[in-house]
Amino acid sequence: MAIRKPTMPAEKSSVFADFLKEQASSQDQQFKPGSIIEGTVSSIKDGDVFVDIGYKSEGIVSRDEFGADAEVKPGLKFQVMLQQLEDDKTGMVRLSKKAADDLIRWQKVLEQYTEGCIAKGTIRSAVRGGLLVDVDGVEAFLPGSQVDVSPTRDLTPYINQTYDFKVIKIDNSRKNIIVSRRELIEGMMAEKKAELLASLQKGEVRKGHVKNITDFGAFIDLDGIDGLLHITDMSWGRVKHPSELLKVGQELDVMVLDVDRDKERISLGLKQMTENPWTTITEQFPVNSRVKGKVVNLAAYGAFVEIAPGIEGLVHISEFSWTKHVTRASDMLNVGDEITVQILSVDADNQKIALGIRQTQENPWDSVTDRYPVGSRVKGKVRNFTAYGAFVELEEGIDGMIHVTDMSWTRRPNHPTECLKKGEEVEAIVLEVNPKDQRISLGLKQAQTDPWADIASKYPVGSIVKGKVSKAASFGAFIELEDGVDGLVHISQISDQHVDKVKDALQPGQEVEARVIKVDRAERRIGLSIKAVNMSEEEVKALEDEAADSSTLTGSSSGSLSGEQLGSLGAAFDDAFGNVEWQPGEADEK
């Protein structure tokens, strides 16, 4: 861009002429120290040049002030500065050509330049804090901060270079000039930026180079003005960081997306230079089709898989496996893994694709009824417990559940850990299979012989049995006859004497003998009597008849006994079993 030097005001054109007139205005003024006078070389001797200035005596100028190549001879006229009328040593007038030249040059600079104008100069040397610039023979100072728009540490490359500078300060008293190259460049850049900003149009493509990269995008220099290429406008696919695609200094074509001339902001796009692959996504990837892809990112809820350049889909953790419960995607996949997935759904408007991994594999639940038919006997290890049952692993990913009610023929456990241990191998019967809900019900007790099946033959009514007191309650005591089979001795059948509290007569672990007086296989109940052990056959027969004549063994709806019922063994036995449900873990009689 051409730089026009400002035109000097008319009144400035005669500054130097007026200066010379003032110097010769009077004889007294002319021969005062510091005045400039025209002199003529009269002779040259021993390195001194004798000069006639029209004074009563000649003046002397050192030959060195003329320069080595200058031709100095008598009759040569030039301007000199009167420094001293009579030298203390020689008595001669002391003159200086150099001082006169410097002053004349300074006056010419003042005549030609003002603060704010443009001056051409050549950088001659580096000094503390900056550079010295020769501007028409006058030294100007260029501060280091004003050399360029960017900080410059090494000033050596600028020496002997000629540039245009902006004059930012002129100090006439010190005969000092300060110039700036930076202000001139910034001005030129601002002008160029304004022109470029005005010419930018949305949708056009411009060349630029990457100036800077940040976490959220990259700044692109469009030859004088910066635009922002946001990370979301770099690719149709996922970009973790702009440095994956760009490098500082890289040249590229970008599309102008938006221009805010008031705020001087420009939005640029790179992905807009190519066709949006989502416009034909349903044709490329129909639902239920299978494709290969690469895992590009893992999240707590799933994995992002790139199935084509710029196209990613999400495999939710629920779609990883038919049988495994996946809590974290990283437990099964790593970034960079190449996998086969099935297209589950496509949302072109929101640019979302749902993918599945398990759909590419056979669902073991589809054939589970063939492998585990109802009624079949299976083996497995106890994997986990809940309050209501235990999960048994039949094969990898296939569990069956044993409900607490199907664990024992003789016990009703409060918790499955009362019957099973984690890791224990068990044998069970398949009770029910539900492939849709992915459930298999198992029975532990069904795989064992029911001890109550032949209970009547093992413990016939009237027989005497031995056992240990396993539990004491307010209404009686339970006697363990064999593993899991208990009989009940009602409090009224403990002794011929009145028993106020069961614990006063019987203690847990105590061995006792008792007579079987009632067996109900359907309700799994055995009635015992300790006091009947020593009875005669007639008394036992009467006791049996009394028990047989009781109303029902399922129990009345009443929770208490009347005086008449207490006199009936059948009623007491029925009430104890039917109305008071004893469970393992219940508190003993206090």
How far, CA to CA in Å, does 431 sit from each of 184, 339, 421, 491? 93, 38, 21, 40
| CATH code, 10-104 | 2.40.50.140
Structural contact between residues 568 and 553, judged by C-beta atoms closer than 8 angstroms = no
CA distance 216 to 267: 13
Q: Is 49 exposed, middle or buried (0-12, 13-18, 19+ CB in 10 A)?
A: buried
With cut-offs at 50, 70 and 90, classify the pLDDT of residue 549. Answer: low
Higher pLDDT, 454 or 200: 200
CATH class of 455-579: mainly beta
Say what the pLDDT of residue 8 is: 46
- pLDDT-derived band at 59 (thresholds 50, 70, 90) equals confident
Task: Tell me which of 2.60.40.10, 3.30.2130.10, 3.40.605.10, 2.40.50.140 is the CATH number of domain 113-186.
Answer: 2.40.50.140
First to last CA, the chain: 109
The DSSP output letter for 587 is P
Quote the mean pLDDT of the chain. 81
Other Cβ atoms within 10 Å of 10 Cβ, number: 7
Question: What was the pLDDT predicted at 489?
Answer: 93
pLDDT average, residue stretch 303-328: 88
Query: Distance (Å, rounded) from C-alpha 470 to C-alpha 410?
Result: 14
The confidence score (pLDDT) of residue 6 equals 45
pLDDT tens per residue, range 20-39: 555 544 444 567 887 888 88
Decide if 437 contacts 400 (C-beta within 8 A). Answer: no
The pair of structure tokens assigned to 11 is: 């009144």
CATH number of 200-273: 2.40.50.140
**Fold match flag (200-273 vs 455-579):** yes
Q: Looking at per-residue confidence, does 59 or 401 come out higher?
A: 401
Q: Is the pLDDT of residue 127 over 70?
A: yes
CA gap 490, 501 in Å, rounded: 11
Considering only CA atoms, which of 86, 32, 36 is closest in space to residue 59?
A: 86
- pLDDT score of 266 more than 70: yes
Residue predicted with more confidence, 24 or 485: 485
Summarize pLDDT for 232-257 with one digit per residue, the tens.
899 887 788 999 889 999 999 999 99
Question: Among 109-113, 215-219, 429-433, 468-472, which is the least confidently predicted range?
Answer: 109-113
Using the predicted structure, report yes or no on whether residue 10 has a pLDDT greater than 70: no
Please give the DSSP secondary-structure letter assigned to residue 235: -
Q: 503-533: per-residue pLDDT in tens?
A: 888 999 899 999 988 888 777 888 999 988 8
What span, in angstroms and rounded, lies between the C-alpha atoms of 22 and 121?
Answer: 30
**pLDDT score recorded for residue 18:** 60
pLDDT of 547 reads 59
Q: What's the pLDDT score for residue 286? A: 92
Is the pLDDT at 382 greater than 60? The verdict is yes
- pLDDT given for residue 246 in this prediction: 92
Q: Could you tell me which residues come within 8 angstroms of residue 158 by beta carbon, excluding any fewer than 6 positions away?
A: 123, 131, 147, 152
Q: Give the integer Cα–Cα distance in Å for 589 and 473.
A: 5
Residue 1 corresponds to which tokens in the numbers above?
């861009």
Is residue 117 classed as helix, strand or coil in its secondary structure?
coil
Q: Residue 172's pLDDT is what?
A: 82
Domain layout of the chain by residue ranges: 10-104, 113-186, 200-273, 277-360, 364-447, 455-579
DSSP characters for 435-460? TTTTEEEEESGGGS--TTTTHHHHS-
For 77-109, write each residue's pLDDT tens digit.
Answer: 888 888 777 766 666 788 888 888 888 888 888
Superfamily of domain 364-447: Nucleic acid-binding proteins (2.40.50.140)
CB 349 within 8 A of CB 285: no
523/521 Cα distance (integer angstroms)? 5
- Pair 124, 159: CB distance under 8 Å: yes
pLDDT band with cut points at 50, 70 and 90 for residue 335: very high
Burial class (CB in 10 A: 0-12, 13-18, 19+), 107: middle
Task: Please name the helix (run of DSSP H) or strand (run of DSSP E) that holds residue 355, with its range, or none.
Answer: strand 352-356
The alpha carbon dihedral of 205, 206, 208, 213 has a sign of: negative
Say how many C-beta atoms besides its own lie within 10 A of residue 297's C-beta: 15
Span 475-492, mean pLDDT?
86
Residue 521 has phi, psi (to 5 degrees) of -65, -40
Question: What is the average per-residue pLDDT within 277-306?
Answer: 90
pLDDT for 425 equals: 92
The answer to whether residue 375 scores a pLDDT higher than 80 is: yes
Domain 277-360 matching CATH 3.10.20.30: the answer reads no
**pLDDT tens per residue across span 191-216:** 888 888 888 888 899 999 999 999 99
